[in-house]
């Protein structure tokens, strides 16, 4: 099959693209290589994908807000499926640039949905986020929970993307899977995310910023498990479905730091800071639906995943 992977030069997208290529599919990556973090990192990811895919891989530089560019790539590619992972990411940065997040994540998503529909593509897999749950009193978080209390522009943009996916399923019969990712980590993780950022600072002997008292908990999910969930969606006809993809276990921030210290063999210097607006105190995925309908079965727990990440981090 022919796949379009938006954001395929990034962290999760590059892993998805490589896995598809290893399975024998054709892959086109569409990415704007924006400077949210160093574009050289994304170019290195593309180089690795090229080695894997050879002539079955193509890279197209482009912006989601450019509808004409999306029309061109979808018309030329004749894609069987689209995996939409491109977005402006991060809760805290979205507070500073809310209009940018809505433009790229919402307008960009509807541009892509419309371009794919016009080109005859029938299946869509879109990345959402655990942030849509907001400050959810009920744990673990279930896809059936009400999600109308977003507390950041980023979360609001992902809620809107989920709604758009439903619209295109309802009106045009597009097969749509919405995937709510829970704090993904592993090789190629973005340098602004906590595990990568903390590893860099601890290695350099610099303080790591800890917002709050260290009691916040996250459902950290290893990237290989996320990729398995994404690929499971591509193998099934789903109609319109929303799935949590997490580890379904929570880890306190201070416990995460202890895992990093053990893997690095070096103690962290803690810089205590106030809790940040838009951050949630807890994320915790109920993955029973993904287990039942996708065969999703995350295997890598934090005690194994952090040392794997540090092995890549040191080799890099």
Residues annotated as catalytic (active site), given as ranges: 154
The contacts of residue 50 (CB under 8 Å, 6+ apart) are 57, 59
- CA separation for the pair 78, 13 (Å, rounded): 20
CA 74 to chain CA centroid, nearest Å = 22
Which candidate, 315, 309, 221, 316, places its Cα nearest to that of 260?
309
Task: Reduce the DSSP state of residue 188 to 3 states and report it.
Answer: coil
Select from 32, 41, 24, 44 the least CA-distant residue to 85: 32
CA distance 145 to 29: 33
Residue of 17, 95, 65, 81 lying closest to 237 (CA atoms): 81
One-character DSSP codes across 255-315: HHHHHHHHHHTSPPEEEEEPPPTT--SB--B--HHHHHHH-------HHHHHHHHHHHHHH
The pair of structure tokens assigned to 1 is 């099959």
Interstrand relation of 269-273 and 207-211 (parallel, antiparallel or unpaired): parallel
Which alpha helices (H) appear in the chain, and where do they start and end? 11-22, 39-53, 67-77, 91-96, 98-102, 108-118, 153-172, 194-203, 223-234, 253-264, 288-294, 302-315
Pair of tokens at residue 93 = 């940065």
Distance of CA 266 to the CA centre of its chain: 29
């Amino acid at each position: 099959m022919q796949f379009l992977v938006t954001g395929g030069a990034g962290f999760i997208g590059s892993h998805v693209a490589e896995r598809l290529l290893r399975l024998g599919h054709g892959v086109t990556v569409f990415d704007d290589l924006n400077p949210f973090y160093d574009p050289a990192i994304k170019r290195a990811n593309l180089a690795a994908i090229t080695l894997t895919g050879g002539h079955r891989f193509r890279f197209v530089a482009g912006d989601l807000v450019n509808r004409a560019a999306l029309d061109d790539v979808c018309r030329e590619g004749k894609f069987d499926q689209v995996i939409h992972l491109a977005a402006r990411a991060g809760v805290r940065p979205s507070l500073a640039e809310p209009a940018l997040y809505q433009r790229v994540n919402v307008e960009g998503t509807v541009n892509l949905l419309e371009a794919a529909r016009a080109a005859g593509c029938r299946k869509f897999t879109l990345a959402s986020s655990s942030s849509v749950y907001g400050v959810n009193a009920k744990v673990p978080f279930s896809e059936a929970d009400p999600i109308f209390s977003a507390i950041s522009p980023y979360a609001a943009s992902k809620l809107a993307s989920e709604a758009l996916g439903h619209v295109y399923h309802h009106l045009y019969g597009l097969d749509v899977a919405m995937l709510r990712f829970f704090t993904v980590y592993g090789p190629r993780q973005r340098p602004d995310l906590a595990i990568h950022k903390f590893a860099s600072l601890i290695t350099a002997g610099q303080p790591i910023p800890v917002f709050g008292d260290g009691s916040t908990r996250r459902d950290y999910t290893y990237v290989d498990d996320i990729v398995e969930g994404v690929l499971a969606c591509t193998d099934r006809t789903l109609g319109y479905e929303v799935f949590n993809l997490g580890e379904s276990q929570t880890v306190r921030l201070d416990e995460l730091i202890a895992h990093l210290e053990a893997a690095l063999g070096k103690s962290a210097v803690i810089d205590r800071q106030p809790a940040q607006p838009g951050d949630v105190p807890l994320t915790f995925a109920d993955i029973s639906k993904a287990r039942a309908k996708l065969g999703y079965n995350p295997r890598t727990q934090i005690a194994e995943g952090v040392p794997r990440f540090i092995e890549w981090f040191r080799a890099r």
